[in-house]
Chains A and B, each alone.
Chain A
Amino acid sequence: MKVGLLTPGSVNDNGWNAIAYEGLQQIHRQLGAQISYQETKTPAEFEEGFQSYGAKGFDLAFGHGFEFQDAALKAGAQYPKTVFITTSGKSVAPNVSPMVFELEQATYLLGIIAARESKSGKAGLVGGIKLPSIDSTFLAFKAGAHSVNPRFEVKEVYTGNFDDLGAARLATLSLINAGCDFIFHQANEAGRGVFQACTERKVRCFGSNKNQNDLAPDVIVASAVLDVPKAFVYMAKLVRDKQFRPQVYWLGMKEGIVSLAWNDRLEPTISPATVEEVADVEKQIRDGKLEVPRGKF
């Protein structure tokens, strides 16, 4: 079996692209597949990458982001024997499907934690580039917070890139100055700057995408975890067993792809009522009784 991956950025970004690369390696380790990846910047490269995988008879090729949809449809039509999966998106063709992660389910819970535990009544969000997937997790965070306290204030700041750790730190400090006492980030690599700011000001914060609790164990209360590796292996198994069906694959808490990971060291500082409430809401989401709002993308 041969599996390829195209990422829109560096695979050592400690975030979005890193988890995809981990997924690819899991496919190699668990299924013994031959793997290949490429960092791609332009649509010309997206097409070139996908077509190269198709031409070499790859069974499965991932494009890690919404921006790969056009290229996937094009290559999909040319190479019907290869399955093209985009992470997030909406384009479906006989051998093209998106898998959409419902990280919003976890960030909704983070919003609840922030609104219940905040003393100032304000939380801050730090984003890198305003991508729909990022915007959507922020939207769910706000919805979660407002579900328990409609007057809770959530401030949002974008730095415009994922590389500038210093800028992320500065943005976080601005939010803390503005009174925020909970911070959530979606800044990939630059997230380290967010944790640095939170650690120095002793402001509690949340991790994103990966379980980041160990990166700043004194301040990260919980992480919204996206088990991309599991999702990648899941898709690879479907393709290997000829079980793949063209459709939008929704992957969330129910499928075990999205979860909330408490930091064991800090959980005791959270009131038991909040922990219980979060567990309760989590169960409702898992059972499909509560639908978490998400951006329309």
Chain B
Amino acid sequence: MIEMIIQSLPLAIFASVPLLLAVEGELVAERAGMINLGIEGMMLTAAMTAVFAAQISGSIIAGLFGGIAGALAVAAIFGFFSIRLKADQIVTGTAINLLALGLTGFVYREMQQSAIFVRSVPHVGAAAENAIAIVSWIVIPILLSLMLWMTAFGLRLRACGEYPRAVAASGPSVAMHRWAALVIEAVLVGAAGADLSLALSSGFAENMTSGRGFIALSIVIFGRWKTRGILLGTAVFGIAAALQYALQAMNQSLQFHLLLAIPYVVTLLILCGIAGKVRAPESLGRDA
């Protein structure tokens, strides 16, 4: 068993990169008081726009920017409705998920003969994938921690999640800070989508995010809105996902349907028990 976990570890580390990036993005958004249920649709859209950009330009880097651009477009919709119009964040997020699923499915099918989806995508090498893993697992968490807990901007951002009225009363605009948080989230989720379709996988497929966005939302809560917590949560989930394939390969008689449910059960248990009573940012999900 121990040996299997050790073997699964490297797989878990790079296979959970898209999840991790999404988790990091959602952490920033939630710290600023927004719960972005539309993160699943944001990632799916980014996965598609990344393929578009990479195929048209022939470059992976362009693909990354394409993914970020797609996520930013979705963020603009989310922000317009939830920050500008102060519409309910969960309703908006739900609509965005449906929109992204319907629209990417529609475009993918209308363009199925197009070279963009037929030709194989530019290849991301093993070295690049390792670099991406290091950036996602080490560099970005450090940067995020510094930003959130060491800068005045981070302090105000967090205040927007806790006491938006106090922030507004003391001068800075809550809306501007939430927009900034949303942009940071979109950059990270866009990178997640690009990683998913260009590095972890080789191309786009309908609904290829397969619930990663929803898992990301849960992990942020499991991590109790702390960088260390979310890293741990992503690691637990990533290892559970990798391990269940190793278990399947080892034991043929195991009911794989139940194994497939493990990551979700683990997340649910994590949400309710092991992490202790959860305390969310005070104004999470509410408008200012």
Contacts and interface: CB of A to CB of B under 8 A. Distances in A.
Interface stretch (B61-69, B143-151, B200-208, B267-275): B200-208
A167 interface: yes
A130 B256 CA distance: 9
A160 B245 contact: no
A156 interface: yes
A276 interface: no
Nearest to B113: A12
Contacts of B100: none
B208 A178 contact: no
A170 B249 contact: no
Nearest to A190: B205
A222 interface: no
Interface in A180-219: 180, 189-190, 192-193, 195-196, 200, 215
Contact of B242 (A158, A170, A192): A170
A169 B210 CA distance: 14
B207 A171 contact: no
Interface residues of B, number: 33
Interface residues of A, number: 34
B81 interface: no
A177 B7 contact: yes
A26 interface: no
A10 B15 contact: no
B249 A124 contact: yes
Contacts of B206: 10, 163, 189
Contacts of B112: 11-12
A247 interface: no
B278 interface: no
B246 A166 contact: no
B59 interface: no
B256 A160 contact: yes
Contacts of A166: 15, 18, 196, 200-201, 208
Interface in B1-34: 7-8, 11, 15, 18
A157 B105 CA distance: 27
Contacts of B108: 10, 12
Contacts of A177: 7-8, 11, 246
Contacts of A167: 210, 241
Contacts of A161: 210
A10 B109 contact: yes
A40 B14 CA distance: 35
A193 B245 contact: no
A289 to B, nearest CB: 31
A221 interface: no
B242 to A, nearest CB: 6
A24 interface: no
A116 B240 CA distance: 34
A178 B246 contact: yes
A164 interface: yes
Contacts of A155: 249-250, 252
B176 to A, nearest CB: 36
Given A155-B252, A156-B252, A164-B208, A171 B202 contact: no
Contacts of B205: 163-165, 189-190, 192
A138 B252 CA distance: 13
A216 B124 CA distance: 15
Interface string B233-256: 000000001100110111010001
Contacts of B249: 124, 155-157, 174-175, 178, 180
Interface in A215-263: 215
A135 B18 CA distance: 31
Nearest to B12: A170
A133 B179 CA distance: 50
Contacts of A175: 245, 249
Nearest to B248: A157
A178 B242 CA distance: 12
B126 interface: yes
B257 interface: yes
Contacts of A189: 205-206
A246 B156 CA distance: 74
A11 B241 CA distance: 29
B260 interface: yes
A173 interface: yes
Interface of A: 10-12, 124, 130, 155-161, 163-167, 169-171, 173-175, 177-178, 180, 189-190, 192-193, 195-196, 200, 215
23 contacts: A11-B109, A124-B249, A130-B256, A156-B249, A157-B248, A157-B256, A158-B256, A160-B256, A160-B257, A160-B260, A161-B210, A166-B15, A166-B18, A166-B196, A166-B201, A174-B8, A174-B246, A174-B248, A175-B249, A177-B246, A189-B205, A196-B202, A215-B120
Closest 10 A/B residue pairs (Cβ): A165-B201, A174-B245, A12-B112, A166-B200, A164-B210, A160-B260, A155-B249, A171-B245, A157-B248, A170-B15
Interface of B: 7-8, 11, 15, 18, 105, 108-109, 112, 117, 120, 126, 196, 200-203, 205-208, 210, 241-242, 245-246, 248-250, 252, 256-257, 260
Given A157-B256, A158-B256, 7 more contacts: A12-B112, A124-B249, A159-B245, A163-B205, A166-B18, A166-B208, A177-B246
